[in-house]
Amino acid sequence: MVEVTVTPQSSLADRPVQIRVRGLSPSQLVTLRAWLKDEQGERFQSRAFFRADGAGEVNPGLHAALGGSYSGVWPMGLFWFLQPDTLFRRLVKRDVAGSPFRVRLEVLDGLSLGADPREQPLASCGAERWYVSPGVQRVPIREGRVRGALFLPP
Higher pLDDT, 119 or 58: 58
4 pLDDT higher than 70? yes
Q: Mean per-residue pLDDT for 36-45? A: 95
Count Cβ atoms within 10 A of the Cβ of residue 21 and give its class: 0-12 exposed, 13-18 middle, 19 or more buried: buried
For 114, residues 6+ apart whose C-beta sits below 8 A from its C-beta are: none
Report residue 31's pLDDT band, with 50, 70 and 90 as the boundaries: very high
Domain range annotation of the chain: 3-152
Q: Mean per-residue pLDDT for 52-77? A: 97
Pairwise CA distance, residues 81 & 78, whole Å: 6
Mean pLDDT lowest for which of 35-44, 71-80, 90-99, 124-133?
Answer: 90-99
State the fold for domain 3-152: Immunoglobulin-like (2.60.40)
Q: Across all residues in the chain, what is the average pLDDT? A: 94
Pairwise CA distance, residues 94 & 23, whole Å: 38
Model confidence, pTM: 0.88
Do 68 and 48 touch, CB atoms closer than 8 A? yes
Nearest to residue 101, comparing CAs of 120, 82, 118? 82
